[in-house]
Amino acid sequence: MKYIEKHPMIMIVIGVLGISVSAIFVRYANAPSAVTATCRLLWTVILMTPVVCGKREVRTEFAKTDKKIIALSALSGVFLAIHFVLWFESLLHTSVASSTTIVCTEVIWVALGFCLFMKGRLSLKAIAAIAVTFLGSVVIALADSSSGAHLYGDILSLLAAVAVAFYTLIGRAVRKNVSTTVYTYIVYIACAVSLLITCLAQGYNIFGHGINVIIVGILLAIFSTILGHSIFSWCLKYFSPAFVSASKLCEPVVAGMFAALLFGEWPSAVQLVGCAMILGGVVYYSRIESQ
C-alpha cells in the first residue's frame, strides 16, 4: 500500500480501466437494461454491507443521520437508477464510442443545474465550453442520423447524462452533512430498490436471464464501481478534483478502443470530430472550474 501511495498514478490508471470496461460488460450481459443494472447494484450493496456494518463509527452515524438527509440521498439513488437504465439501454442501440462520449457531458448539465437550481453563475468562457460540448453532441447525432436506432441510442445517452447530473447535484448538497460511506450506501440501496421495482413493473425476472447477467453484475460491481468510481474518490487525497475529473474523460477513448477490437465498432471521421468537440469542451470547462 505504501508503494501505491508513493505512486498514486497507478490507481488513476486502474480507475480509468475500471470505468472503461463498464460499457463492454453491458454488451455481454444479454439481458434487458433494467435487469443488468439491478444485478450491478445488488452486488454493490452486498459487497459494501460487511464493510459498512463492521465499522462502529459508520453505524453510529447512520443512527444520527437526519431523515431529510436520508430522503435526499434516496432521491439521489433514484436518479442514479434512471441513469443506469437509460445508459445501459443506449449501449444496445448505438456505438460504445458515441454513448460513452455523450454521457461524459454530465459535467455540463451539472453546471447548468447549478445555475438553475442553486443560484450559481456561469462565466462567458464556461458558456462557450458548454456550447462547444453541445455542438459536439449534435455532430455525433448527425453522424448517426442515417440509422434511426443509433440516433435513439444517442438520445438515451444524453438523457442518461442529465439524470446523473441530478444525482451529482443532490450529492453535492447532501455530502456537506454526511460522510461518503453513509451517503453512497444509502444511494446504492435506494438505487437497487428503484431498479428492482422497475424490473417488476416491466415483468422481468432478474434470475431468468441466464448466468451471463449475474456474472456481468458482479464484474460491474467490482471493476466499474469499487475499482472504478471508488478509486477516483480515493485519488482525491493525492490529486486535484480537476485532474481526477479530467482523467475520467479517458473512458470514451479506452472504451472505444475495446469496442473497436472486440465488436468491430470503428468510429467514422464525423463521429471522431464530434467526440473531440465534446471532450475538448469538457476539458476546457474543467480547467475553468479549477482556476
Residues 35, 19, 142, CA angle at the centre, nearest 5°? 80
| Per-residue model confidence as pLDDT tens for the chain (291 residues) | 566 667 677 887 888 888 888 888 988 888 899 999 999 999 999 998 998 888 888 888 888 888 888 999 999 999 999 999 999 999 988 888 888 888 888 877 877 777 777 666 777 787 787 788 778 777 877 776 666 678 888 899 999 999 988 888 888 778 777 887 888 889 999 999 999 999 999 999 888 888 889 999 999 999 888 888 777 767 766 775 556 666 777 778 888 888 888 888 887 888 788 878 877 877 777 677 665
Measure Cα distances from 242 to 15, 111, 239, 284, 291 in Å. 15, 14, 8, 11, 9
Cell numbers 447548468 correspond to 112
What secondary structure letter does DSSP report for 177?
S
In 3-state terms the chain splits into helix, strand, coil percentages (rounded to 5) of: 80, 0, 20
Backbone angles phi, psi at 33, to 5 degrees: -60, -40
Q: Which residues contact 135 (CB under 8 A, 6 or more apart)?
A: 277
- Count Cβ atoms below 10 Å from residue 112 Cβ, excluding itself: 17
Which grid coordinates belong to 75? Answer: 432521491
Among 113, 150, 95, CA closest to 272: 95
pTM of the complete model: 0.83
